[in-house]
């Protein structure tokens, strides 16, 4: 991933140095387990631990000749360890090390992602509580529908983010497995006990059964979870973009002192963070498709998945980390304009209160179809008309006033009628 979207902590997990260090951690753990079982002399283990190191430049040099990165890595380590190096990688195949190390990297990445998810959730939760009673219009199909509160909108997001926390926990559990089972998974030259001891040392559990590799449905679930989270972040970002439009202007991304919105138009205050998040979500969704394609490999393995994972796993975790933290900043500093929300809600004389009038007319005994027609006639007469006023139309329509008093009509335009269960909704959501 490019530096622009790479936060240091997450980027460090996927560095070349970190990859090979994790390989080495796994190899040493195997040696430790084998030594504990009497398979490797204690003196050799001590020598391995004290001398085992690698040089990335040397690995690259060796790989040019051998065309195998794990062999190049082992050769570099062996050059530093000396004679005791013969005990390193004993009974293993390359994928035992690669896949087990990858599980460790994904676990570490997930810790950072979980922290970012919690940070964003708290920022949204703050807005939900703050604006619990900030009335605005709810929209369906992009068209004004009925009153809601901005806090209610935020509460919907909070609950969605909480579901993602559960999904990420499940995905981490699914990916937190390793293997030390040899070329095709049958433990031909290594025992299940070595595997169990090794993985216990590094905080993983054994895959119940594997081939040469950990099966890729696990990794697909992980990436698909990241894609789901990214999809929600895009959903939130798109909402902010819509609400920030000049003709709406109900919320606005924070605009820093000295910030510029356009190279040509000094007046511009663009939702650039939300647009950025929208775009990056597309990349992670694309990576999820690639992860699914990696599930179907030939027989006990091929390496068609390997090149893909070198890209999609670092990139997806790096991007989601960036997105979570950038959106958290937006939500923490989000500018909300309650007065604009009230202004927009009353467009065309409060047409959004049509259902309240409809229900009052039906309560008076009118057939629903008749009542609907009366209300719709008055709403459409106000719709997209400069001086259109639904409330005044109703008060002037004798077909309505013969059934409803002025007080009954006017009381239909009280948003509180629509929001009487907000407290209950928040309580049920634990907000």
164 has catalytic annotation: no
Shared domain check, 380 and 308: no
Three-state DSSP state, 125: helix
Shared domain check, 100 and 185: yes
Burial per residue of 76-101, b for 16 or more beta-carbon CB atoms within 10 angstroms, e otherwise = bbbeebeebbebbbebbbbbbbbbbb
141 has catalytic annotation: yes
pLDDT tens-digit readout, 405-425: 999 999 999 999 999 999 999
Shared domain check, 75 and 139: yes
Shared domain check, 292 and 159: yes
Shared domain check, 34 and 11: yes
Last residue of a domain, one of 297, 319, 341: 341
Residue 378 is part of which domain span? 346-428
Give residue 431's Cα distance to chain centre.
21
Last residue of a domain, one of 325, 341, 357: 341
Which stretches within 180-293 are classed as H helix? 192-202, 217-244, 272-293
Last residue of a domain, one of 319, 341, 363: 341
Shared domain check, 359 and 393: yes
Catalytic residue among 15, 50, 188, 262: 262
pLDDT tens-digit readout, 365-382: 999 999 999 999 999 999
Predicted pLDDT of residue 100:
97
Predicted pLDDT of residue 259:
80
Domain count, the chain: 2
Statement: residue 177 has pLDDT above 80: yes
- CATH number of the domain within which 412 lies: 1.10.40.30
Question: Which residues are within 8 A (CB) of 253 and not within 5 positions of it... i.e. 6 or more apart?
Answer: 240, 244, 269, 271, 272, 273, 274, 330, 333, 334, 335
Shared domain check, 307 and 293: yes
Shared domain check, 312 and 166: yes
Predicted pLDDT of residue 61:
96
Predicted pLDDT of residue 48:
97
Are the C-beta atoms of 25 and 32 separated by less than 8 Å? no
Query: Residue 261 — pLDDT band, cuts 50, 70, 90?
Result: confident
Shared domain check, 176 and 31: yes
Statement: residue 77 has pLDDT above 90: yes
Shared domain check, 368 and 294: no
pLDDT tens-digit readout, 196-253: 999 999 999 999 999 999 999 999 999 999 999 999 999 999 999 999 999 999 999 9
- CATH number of the domain within which 194 lies: 1.20.200.10
Predicted pLDDT of residue 260:
81
Catalytic residue among 140, 141, 263, 299: 141
Query: Which tokens belong to 144?
Result: 């004004």
Q: Percentage of the chain surpassing pLDDT 70?
A: 100
Name the residue among 211, 212, 224 with its Cα closest to residue 174: 224
Shared domain check, 375 and 332: no
């Amino acid at each position: 991933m490019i530096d622009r979207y790479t936060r240091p902590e997450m980027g460090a997990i996927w560095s070349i140095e970190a990859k090979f260090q994790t390989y080495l951690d796994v190899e040493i753990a195997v040696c430790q387990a084998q030594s504990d079982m009497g398979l490797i002399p204690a003196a050799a283990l001590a020598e391995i631990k004290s001398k085992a190191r690698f040089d990335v430049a040397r690995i690259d040099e060796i790989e040019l000749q051998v065309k195998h990165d794990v062999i190049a890595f082992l050769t570099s380590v062996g050059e530093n360890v000396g004679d005791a190096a013969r005990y390193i990688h004993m009974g293993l195949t390359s994928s035992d090390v690669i896949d087990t190390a990858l599980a460790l990297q994904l676990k570490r990445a997930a810790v950072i992602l979980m922290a970012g998810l919690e940070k964003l959730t708290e920022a949204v939760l703050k807005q939900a509580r703050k604006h619990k009673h900030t009335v605005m219009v709810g929209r369906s199909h992009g068209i004004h529908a009925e009153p809601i509160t901005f806090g209610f909108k935020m509460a919907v997001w909070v609950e969605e983010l909480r579901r993602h926390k559960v999904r990420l926990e499940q995905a981490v559990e699914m990916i937190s497995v390793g293997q030390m089972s040899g070329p095709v998974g049958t433990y031909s030259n290594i025992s299940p006990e070595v595997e169990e001891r090794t993985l216990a040392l590094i905080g993983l559990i054994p895959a119940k059964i594997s081939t040469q590799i950990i099966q890729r449905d696990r990794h697909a679930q992980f990436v698909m979870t990241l894609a789901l989270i990214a999809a929600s972040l895009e959903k939130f970002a798109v909402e902010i973009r819509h609400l920030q439009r000049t003709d709406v202007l109900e919320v606005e991304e924070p605009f820093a002192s000295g910030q510029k919105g356009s190279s040509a138009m000094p007046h511009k205050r663009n939702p650039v963070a939300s647009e950025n998040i929208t775009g990056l979500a597309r990349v992670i969704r694309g990576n999820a498709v690639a992860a699914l394609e990696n599930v179907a490999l030939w027989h006990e393995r091929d390496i068609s998945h390997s090149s893909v994972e070198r890209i999609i796993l670092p990139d997806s975790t790096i991007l989601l980390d960036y997105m979570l933290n950038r959106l958290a900043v937006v939500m923490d500093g989000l500018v909300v304009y309650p007065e604009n929300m009230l202004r927009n809600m009353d467009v065309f004389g409060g047409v959004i209160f049509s259902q309240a009038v409809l229900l009052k007319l039906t309560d008076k005994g009118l057939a629903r179809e008749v009542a609907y027609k009366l209300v719709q006639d008055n709403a459409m007469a106000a719709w997209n008309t400069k001086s259109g006023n639904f409330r005044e139309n109703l008060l002037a329509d004798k077909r309505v006033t013969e059934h409803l008093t002025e007080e009954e009509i006017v009381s239909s335009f009280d948003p509180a009628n629509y929001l009487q269960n907000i407290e209950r909704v928040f309580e049920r959501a634990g907000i």
